[in-house]
């Protein structure tokens, strides 16, 4: 599986005012999350959470099988010197910690699994996750190229997993292709398509399915109205007295929703 997520990552950069290292961390996680959601069915969705001790704090991505993706980083304005390879130091920004995958199968329970972060470079960490938590040999690549004005030039990624009938020859071919492959961003910035990216890893691959990806948030005024009501009458009355209004900001899309004093008073009245 492979994807290009340039427009999607640009949208997230714009909404959250991300600095380059945060853009790279979130963009890589978004690409992998979109591909993992590709494996879901129906109304299932998954949430990826990276909890490191680096200056970025947490990275969260939420995606569904229909190609809707959203995400955020806890601290979007982080700057670090380039790493030893002259690249954005995503590993240093993420730090040490845990990676969690939560799958909502549309039932009451959410299935959660995880693994320890290995490098903080995202792709390595998900490769390790698949090997240890899902016992699925995988090769994962994801990259984001950020311009000096903070815009995203290209971003995307791939996941290759072995099926039970894979032969040693299959494995050898894929290993050779991965060794020869430039970084994902170097490959895409030369004008390569998502089909080219697939065949750069698996030369004789047939494209079995295509799916559109895009940013979409689940927040709405109605949903946040329900959240405020869930606080209870006493809390709402305290909010009215202390602030006179409520401003609710969605973590995922950074949209602001303002609820006026009369609206809060009506909520409190209906809860009394």
CA angle 70, 71, 73 (to 5 degrees): 165
Residue limits of CATH 3.55.30.10 in the chain: 2-215
Give residue 7's pLDDT.
Answer: 96
* Structure confidence by residue, pLDDT tens digits, 158-197: 999 988 888 999 889 999 999 998 799 999 999 999 999 9
Cβ-Cβ contacts under 8 Å for 50 (sequence gap 6 or more): 25, 29, 58, 59, 60, 94, 97, 98, 99, 100, 117, 122, 125
pLDDT class of 42 with cuts at 50, 70, 90: confident
Topology of domain 2-215, CATH: Hsp33 domain (3.55.30)
Q: Which conformational region is residue 42 in: left (phi greater than 0), alpha (psi within -120 to 50 degrees), or beta? A: left
Q: How confident is the model at residue 137, as a pLDDT?
A: 87
The Cα 150–Cα 22 span in angstroms is 10
How many whole angstroms separate alpha carbon 255 and alpha carbon 94? 25
For residue range 206-259, what is the model confidence (pLDDT) as tens digits? Answer: 999 999 999 999 999 999 999 999 999 999 999 999 999 999 999 999 999 999
Q: What is the pTM of this model?
A: 0.91
Q: In the prediction, which pLDDT does 126 show? A: 97
- pLDDT, position 188: 95
pLDDT given for residue 164 in this prediction: 86
pLDDT computed for residue 110 by the predictor: 85
Per-residue pLDDT at 272: 79
Rounded mean pLDDT, 85-108: 91
* pLDDT of residue 14 exceeding 80: yes
Average pLDDT in the 62-67 region? 94
pLDDT number for residue 43 = 80
CA–CA dist 18, 144 (Å, integer): 13
Whether the per-residue pLDDT at 46 is higher than 90: the answer is yes
Instruction: For the chain, give every residue range classified as CATH 3.90.1280.10.
Output: 221-271
Mean pLDDT along residues 142-150: 94
CA 253 to CA 97: how far, in whole Å?
25
Tokens linked to 174: 């894929």
C-alpha to C-alpha distance for 6 and 1, rounded to whole angstroms:
16
Query: What mean pLDDT comes out for the span 105-132?
Result: 91
Chain-centroid distance of CA 188 in Å reads: 19
The overall average pLDDT reported for the chain is 94
Residue 108: pLDDT over 80? no
Task: Average the pLDDT over 90-97 and give the result.
Answer: 97
Q: Report the interhelical angle of 123-133 vs 20-37 (nearest 10°).
A: 30
Tell me the fold of 221-271.
Answer: CBS domain Like (3.90.1280)
pLDDT over threshold 80, residue 109: no
């Amino acid at each position: 599986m492979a994807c290009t997520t340039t427009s999607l990552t640009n949208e997230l950069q714009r909404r959250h005012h991300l600095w380059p290292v945060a853009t790279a961390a979130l963009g890589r996680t978004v690409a992998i999350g979109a591909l993992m959601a590709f494996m879901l069915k129906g109304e299932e969705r998954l949430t990826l959470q990276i909890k490191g001790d680096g200056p970025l704090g947490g990275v969260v991505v939420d995606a569904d099988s229909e190609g809707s993706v959203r995400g955020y980083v806890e601290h979007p304005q982080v700057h670090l010197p380039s790493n030893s390879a002259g690249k954005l130091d995503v590993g240093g920004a993420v730090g040490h910690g845990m990676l969690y995958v939560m799958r909502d199968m549309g039932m009451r329970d959410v299935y959660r699994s995880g693994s320890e972060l290995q490098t903080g470079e995202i792709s390595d960490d998900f490769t390790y996750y698949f090997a240890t938590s899902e016992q699925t040999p995988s090769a994962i690549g994801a990259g984001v190229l950020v311009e000096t004005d903070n815009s995203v030039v290209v971003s995307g990624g791939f996941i290759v997993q072995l099926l039970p009938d894979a032969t040693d020859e299959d494995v050898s071919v894929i290993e050779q292709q991965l060794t020869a492959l430039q970084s994902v961003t170097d490959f895409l910035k030369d004008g390569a398509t998502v089909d080219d990216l697939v065949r750069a890893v698996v030369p004789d691959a047939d494209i079995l399915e295509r799916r559109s990806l895009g940013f979409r948030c689940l927040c709405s005024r109605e949903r946040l109205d329900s959240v405020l009501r869930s606080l209870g009458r006493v809390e709402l009355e305290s909010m009215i007295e202390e602030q006179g209004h409520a401003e609710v900001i969605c973590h995922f899309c950074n949209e602001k929703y303002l609820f006026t004093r009369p609206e809060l008073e009506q909520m409190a009245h209906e809860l009394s």
